[in-house]
Amino acid sequence: MKGRTFIAFVGPSLFLMLLFIAAPLVSVLWQSFEVTQQVFETVEVETCTPGFPEQTCVTETRSRPVLMESGLPLTETRFVGLESYRNVLEPERAAAALRNGNIGELLNIDFWKALRFTLTFTLITLPLILGVGLVLALAVNNAVRSIRGPVIFVSLLPFIITPVIGALSIRWLFVGDGIMTAFLEWWLQQDIAMFAQGWTIEILMLFYRVWHVAPFAFVIFYAALQTLNMDTMESAIIDGASRFERLRYVIVPHLMPLIIFVSLIHLMDAYRVFEEVIGFRSEAHVISLQWLTYDFLTPDDSGNRSISRASASSMLTMIGIVILLIPLLMRTWRDHRGSS
């Protein structure tokens, strides 16, 4: 392709990526080094609120933001360097916990608690999704032609459901005396409370994510199976390769680039796990890194929010994803170099 044609095709997308991805990222990076504060003054304020039978008025000392002439609050922005990162990571406390060899203490710090869950969640769901996706693809590929259509349709359904809605449905099935809990209680003849402790919630979350994303892996793998070289397959059969050997030495190598592709996408998605925390209301037991950012960013009733810590936390999330992706990216790069 000519250089100019190439630019003409890639240019618009490059421009949009710079505008909507790179520029916001730079601004978030910048914000994570700064803190914008309102300037407060301490005043005596008398507040009157409904009482019974008459109003009650209280006078108290209170901090109130200073308003400028224009009626806008006076704010000042300071460069704070890595302070917001320190506030998120709490390195001194983490180091002290590690020195004592007390993991429980480390996991009491929000960031490390979130990191622990995010990592286990990502790394446990990855092989499960690849495995379930592959098994589904092989099963459908070997199924009778007439039922393939319906089977593909049904297996794709979980992927179509909006993630939060899916998570909520699972919650409703299991919370309190939900249908599934009631069934389990009847079956096992004991009282079950799925949302009373962390590990049961985590199992539900893992189950939900695998159920939700496995169809994606399945579709990709199934498509790839259609391009499998039948000659190689037949020679493998003639050479006496068993089913497992055929899978190990013919099918999986054929699918390898796509397995890496699915893994890349899944690692990026799973590291940003969020819907499960909201849907399952698991904040008391498990939180994720993305939820932490969201929590910093959500204003409380009085309108406070921590933009700086939210920025720091989202930069840390991004760094985490990059670290996770490095091995896969390096492999892709090697393959690419090898093939060209």
Which residues are at the interface with other proteins (CB under 8 A)? 35, 37-40, 42, 45-58, 60-65, 67, 71-73, 76, 84, 87, 104, 108, 110, 162-165, 175-176, 193-198, 269, 274-275, 278-279, 281, 283-285, 294-295, 298-304, 306, 308-309
Q: Which is nearer to other proteins, 76 or 239 (CB)?
A: 76
By C-beta, is 134 or 290 nearer to other proteins?
A: 290
CA distances from 243 to 128, 239, 240, 256 (A): 21, 12, 9, 18
- Alpha-carbon distances of 71 from 36, 41, 67, 249, 291, rounded to whole Å: 18, 15, 6, 72, 34
Q: Which is nearer to other proteins, 34 or 119 (CB)?
A: 34
CA distance 83 to 212: 38
Quick one: 231 exposed, middle or buried, by C-beta within 10 A (0-12, 13-18, 19+)?
A: exposed
Beta carbon of residue 33, minimum distance to other proteins (angstroms, whole number): 13
Token couple for 133: 């996706």
Decide whether 263 or 311 has the Cβ nearer to other proteins.
Answer: 311
CB 121, min distance to other proteins, A: 15
* Shortest distance (Å) from residue 268 CB to other proteins: 10
* Nearest-approach distance from CB 139 to other proteins, in angstroms: 27
Closer to other proteins by CB, 239 or 301: give it: 301
Return the amino acid letter for 295: D
Complex with other proteins: residue 169 or 229, whichever CB lies closer: 169
Shortest spacing between CB 193 and other proteins, in angstroms: 4
**Angstrom distances, CA of residue 180 to CA of 54, 119, 161, 169:** 52, 28, 20, 11
Strand partners, 75: 38
Query: 3-state class of 39 per DSSP?
Result: coil
In the complex, minimum distance from the CB of residue 151 to other proteins, in angstroms, rounded to a whole number: 25
Integer Cα distance of 113 and 270 in angstroms: 16
